[in-house]
A = this chain, B = another copy of it.
Amino acid sequence: MTKDANFIYDQIRFKNSLLCVGLDPDIEKMPSIYIKNQYPLFDFCKDVIECTQDFAIAYKLNVAFFESHGPAGWKQLADVIRLIPENCLIIADAKRADIGNTSQQYASYYFDTLGADAITLHPYMGKDSLEPFLKYREKWSIILSLTSNQGSQDFEFQKLETGEYLYEKVMHTYLDSPYNANLMFVCGATHPSEFIHIRKICPDHFLLVPGVGTQGGELKSIIIKGKNKQGGLLINVSRKITYPEQDSDYRKAVYNAAKNYQREMAAYLYE
């Protein structure tokens, strides 16, 4: 099933939400009830998905938190992906990229074998390194552009001799490729002042926005500045939903946290 832009726009309207729920199953942080299970990552993610699916447009699976468990982690990643409802986008937050024949291995695994709808990608090695992903025209390639961490200052905000920031050059370069229809860009919520400018670079593309919640990005400002006519934002919240401060009734706390984010998003979405 192809989850194209219209599919996502429909979900945004239907659920009145821009919420992407980040699944970072961290044994150190999840409620202790899961830890002794045979498949703790799976059981934890299953509960989170069940409690958030009314509000989530997308789920972003942080691959590192599965990979770090070796073969059992990968089995659970595949099983979690199969749980995600049909009406939600499945984003593999894998941050891959390599030379062509190697990227092809990753693309085929994430898209064909695991059935992800989208994958996050490092732009540094240039267009040919991402082509194997981009060629999947019915899938989404989500390119790291302006990330939410402090280190975004080190290179992404370096000015080129043309006057552009590197992150702008990254966006322009991939937008100028023949595969620009199935692109999204990662733009961190910790840089609200850049969003108006980013929207000039790509008025119609989806932006995947990490950094709301634990990392401190401000939701209202991002939505007002970053939305387009049909929404056009997938705003990721991970820890503030999946590791609520009050978790005596864990499932209820997750449900409420997701609902609160959805309501706040809805308030600004059509403002």
- Min CB distance A253 to B, Å, is 21
Q: A198 in the interface, Cβ–Cβ < 8 Å?
A: no
Chain B residues closer than 8 Å to A158, beta-carbon distance = 160, 166, 169
Copies per complex of this chain: 2
- Min CB distance A22 to B, Å, is 10
* Bound CA span A210–B158, Å: 27
Are the C-beta atoms of A151 and B125 separated by less than 8 Å?
Answer: yes
* Bound CA span A174–B65, Å: 26
Q: A240 in the interface, Cβ–Cβ < 8 Å?
A: no
Number of residues on chain A facing chain B (CB within 8 A) = 57
Are the C-beta atoms of B105 and A129 separated by less than 8 Å?
Answer: no
Select A126's contact among B99, B106, B156, B170, beta carbons within 8 Å: B156
Q: A46 in the interface, Cβ–Cβ < 8 Å?
A: no
Are the C-beta atoms of A155 and B128 separated by less than 8 Å?
Answer: no
Are the C-beta atoms of B166 and A154 separated by less than 8 Å?
Answer: no
Residue of B nearest to A126 (CB): B151
Residue of B nearest to A114 (CB): B70
Q: Which of A24, A105, A156 has the most CB of B within 10 A?
A: A105
Chain B residues closer than 8 Å to A149, beta-carbon distance = 99-100, 125-126, 128-129
- Type the 1/0 row for A94-138, where 1 means its CB is closer than 8 Å to any CB of B: 011111111101101100010000000011111111000000000
